[in-house]
Amino acid sequence: MINKPSLIVDKEKCIRNIRKMKAKADKANVLFRPHFKTHQSASIGKWFREEGVEAITVSSISMAKYFADNGWKDISVAFPLNILEMEEINALAERITLNLLVESVGSVRFLKHYLSSNINLYIKIDTGYHRTGIWCENIEEIQNVVDEIKGTEKTEFIGFLTHSGQNYHAKDEEEIRNNHGEVLRIMSELKDYFKKDNPNIISSIGDTPSCSIVEEYYGIDELRPGNFVFYDLDGFIQGRCDDDEVAVTMACPVVAKHDERKEIIIYGGGVHFSKEYIDTGDGNKLYGSIVKFDGEEWTPIIAGGYLASLSQEHGVLKVSEELFKEIEIGELLGIVPVHSCMAVSCISDMFTTKGEKLDLFK
């Protein structure tokens, strides 16, 4: 029986989410290479494999090793090359198809000296998010990195990769569609330009917001969304998914009630949820929404309360008088987390609604 904060996964919803995204990629004739940083679970990886997925994305070399140990043979690490991990990279590249990300001539030169097995390299392109990557208009620098890769014995230039993280902060669907159109144009032009000398290169995109709402992927060869497998409160509020597509909830024991201020204390804090919040615009922070959870399934999000603050192990729910009366000490409540990827990174226990424990990368 669940008696401390645990992330509960609805397998049926996950599989529906996987099938829907896979069907969309198939229809658009692009490779579906889902990002596994969201679930970080070999058990859930199997659900993907049963749907025909063979190529995946992860966010670190350590995570790549975990999934390689669990039978995955084609892994992209969507994070800038960390040259301090050469030993781990060489060991991994010996046994799987390893696709890494570079964005500078210097990093490729380093590989030239220290690489002992073959790897594939994407060049990371900044198409407007401005976090990492070579700015898409800087053709000269892109050409320099391409030349350096091609002049290096054990590296294969496989194409361009971008991440439109700005879509998570878009004000509406129209903004996402506009960003997406712009990204398609940039990535197609870039590929066309470099295809003359590199006929097999691909272009890869991957944020969940655009992958969730858009159907058109002209010029794109690979999709890497991750969050869609679980979605979360942020996705629901932003319109990326319906309430019944959110496939995770954090089960939290109720430990105290404070009638005078209609607050309910749950065992479930920053160490379980992270401290991601949604700014409600009225000076309050929303750290999660409440569902009723009977140990096997949860209701849609209920009105009359929300997770209003988090300390290390405590969560404070602010609730209506009516909801206050309904909730009892010793009850398990479900909290829909704001950001499921961060919640998975925080917690140590993850179960299906049927009580099956899910293996986790830690």
Q: Is 285 in the site for its own copies (CB under 8 A)?
A: no
Of 361, 359, 362, whose CA–CA distance to 43 is shortest?
A: 359
Is 219 or 305 the residue whose CB approaches its own copies more closely? 305
DSSP-derived pairing of the beta strands 350-352 and 263-267: unpaired
Site for its own copies in 329-348 (CB under 8 A): 329-330, 332, 341-342, 345-346, 348
Token digits for 342? 């961060």
Is 13 or 163 the residue whose CB approaches its own copies more closely? 163
Among 3, 284, 299, 320, binds its own copies (CB under 8 A): 3
Stretch that binds its own copies, among 23-31, 80-88, 204-212, 233-241 (CB under 8 A): 80-88
Token digits for 132? 């990492």
Provide the angle, in degrees to the nearest 10, between the axes of the packed helices 61-69 and 86-93: 30
Q: Which residues contact 172 (CB under 8 A, 6 or more apart)?
A: none
Stretch that binds its own copies, among 64-72, 171-179, 280-288, 307-315 (CB under 8 A): 307-315
Is 22 or 257 the residue whose CB approaches its own copies more closely? 257
Sign of the torsion formed by the C-alpha atoms of 217, 221, 227 and 231: positive
Among 270, 285, 323, 351, binds its own copies (CB under 8 A): 270
Tell me how far, at minimum, the Cβ of 269 lies from its own copies, in Å.
9
Q: Is 348:6 a contact under the CB 8 Å cutoff? A: no
Is 56 or 265 the residue whose CB approaches its own copies more closely? 265
* Strand partners of residue 251: 6, 334
* Total of chain residues touching its own copies, rule CB under 8 A: 55
Site for its own copies in 249-268 (CB under 8 A): 253, 255-258, 260-261, 265, 267
Please give the DSSP secondary-structure letter assigned to residue 165. G
> Burial of 144 by CB count in 10 Å (0-12 exposed, 13-18 middle, 19+ buried)?
middle
Among 22, 74, 97, 110, binds its own copies (CB under 8 A): 110
Please give the DSSP secondary-structure letter assigned to residue 316. E
Of 343, 284, 339, 328, whose CA–CA distance to 309 is shortest?
A: 284
Tell me how far, at minimum, the Cβ of 12 lies from its own copies, in Å.
26
- Residues in contact with its own copies by CB under 8 A are 1-4, 37, 59-62, 79-85, 88, 103-104, 106-107, 110, 130-132, 135, 165, 253, 255-258, 260-261, 265, 267, 270-271, 274-276, 311-314, 316, 329-330, 332, 341-342, 345-346, 348, 362
